[in-house]
Copies of this chain bind each other. A is one copy, B any other.
Amino acid sequence: MPELQAKLLEMRTPQATKTAVLVIGGAEDKVHGREILRTFFARAGANDAHIAIIPSASREPSIIGGRYIRIFEDMGAKKVELLDIREREQCEYRDYQQSLEACTGVFLTGGDQLRLCGVLSDTPAMDIIRQRVRSGELTLAGTSAGAAVMGHHMIAGGGSGESPNRSLVDMATGLGFIPEVIVDQHFNNRNRMGRLMSAIASHPDRLGIGIDEDTCALFERDGWLQVLGKGSVTIIDPTEVTHTNEPHVGATEPLNLHNLRLHILSHGDRFHLYQRTVLPAVYRISS
């Protein structure tokens, strides 16, 4: 137990200086307490933060980018800049690469996840972000489309209101910052349980993570994720699945999946990506 107690104490200690990856379900509070954006700001260095906004997913990059610039400037960031990457060629620009080498936080806005991946994947800019996130130099956040791209497999689109089936979800390749997961955003808000189940049936080696609006799964570098914000994070863990008909049925036939593990997490709850353990927000040590 001493090891667990030490871990719990460590988790209760503010970790503002540690980098993290924040996966946000969209529509995060931009006006009132701004808990999620404040946490990103703090993890990116607070008053020492140098934040790069990448609005490539959006069709209104200057409007959406401008809004985030004002928010992080208001919070007191040292430097906030917009990297308005519209074309893959721009990922070769020396000044963009220098910004990505120097910044302490990168924020991926909402929009269309296919557009975001089309512009960024397999580019020098992407290599810099990936390497600096991995080495713990950079805090990364993505909201909505910016959240969808986090896994290796990405949900590009889909429907709701049907029994889980393969045609209910369109899959593509994401940016792979957290390859183990398949993210779905606006999760309960847009009734996306069926499509995330369908995605997991096709990829039972991954973990499904459904994130509600104004809610964030904050991934620490040691494998723990923690929930921030006002909704819930749904974890679909197929590790113990005993059966699925997914390889054998047609695209519109109902899928089955036996022995899924499911967690609904709310504010402060923690889940370990590799150990698959879950800790409630208020965890009392009885000694």
Q: How far is the CA of A262 from the CA of B193 in the complex (A)?
A: 12
Q: Are A264's CB and B232's CB within 8 A? A: no
Stretch at the interface among A4-12, A136-144, A161-169: A161-169
Given A254-B230, A255-B266, check contact A242 B278 (CB 8 Å). yes
What is the distance, in angstroms, from A229's C-beta to the closest C-beta of chain B? Answer: 9
Copies per complex? 2
Q: Are B161's CB and A191's CB within 8 A? A: yes
List the B residue with the shortest CB-CB distance to A186. B161
Q: Are B242's CB and A256's CB within 8 A? A: no
Q: How far is the CA of A243 from the CA of B279 in the complex (A)?
A: 9
List the B residue with the shortest CB-CB distance to A249. B266
> Does A112 belong to the interface (CB within 8 Å)?
no
Q: Are A163's CB and B256's CB within 8 A? A: no
- Interface flags for A222-254 (1: CB within 8 Å of B; 0: not) read 000000001110001000001101000000011
Given A162-B188, A280-B245, check contact A257 B261 (CB 8 Å). no
Q: Are A278's CB and B262's CB within 8 A? A: no
Q: Are B260's CB and A261's CB within 8 A? A: yes
Q: How far is the CA of A190 from the CA of B254 in the complex (A)?
A: 16
Q: Are A189's CB and B161's CB within 8 A? A: yes
| Interface residue tally for chain A (C-beta within 8 Å) | 40
> Does A176 belong to the interface (CB within 8 Å)?
no
Q: How far is the CA of A281 from the CA of B244 in the complex (A)?
A: 10
> Does A194 belong to the interface (CB within 8 Å)?
yes
> Does A197 belong to the interface (CB within 8 Å)?
yes
What is the distance, in angstroms, from A262's C-beta to the closest C-beta of chain B? Answer: 4
Q: Are B264's CB and A261's CB within 8 A? A: no
Q: How far is the CA of A221 from the CA of B242 in the complex (A)?
A: 26
- Interface flags for A180-207 (1: CB within 8 Å of B; 0: not) read 0000000011110110010000000000
Q: Are B188's CB and A243's CB within 8 A? A: no
Q: Are B263's CB and A261's CB within 8 A? A: no
Q: Are B264's CB and A197's CB within 8 A? A: yes
List the B residue with the shortest CB-CB distance to A165. B232
> Does A259 belong to the interface (CB within 8 Å)?
yes
Most buried by B among A212, A232, A265, A281: A232
| CB neighbors of B among A148-177 (8 A) | 160-164
Q: Are A280's CB and B265's CB within 8 A? A: no
Q: Are B261's CB and A280's CB within 8 A? A: no
A163 interface neighbour in B232, B253, B262, Cβ under 8 Å:
B232
Q: Are B259's CB and A264's CB within 8 A? A: no
Q: How far is the CA of A266 from the CA of B162 in the complex (A)?
A: 13
> Does A258 belong to the interface (CB within 8 Å)?
yes
**A231: which B residues are within 8 A, CB to CB?**
163, 254
Pairs across A and B, CB under 8 Å, 7 listed: A161-B190, A163-B231, A164-B188, A232-B254, A245-B266, A259-B261, A261-B261
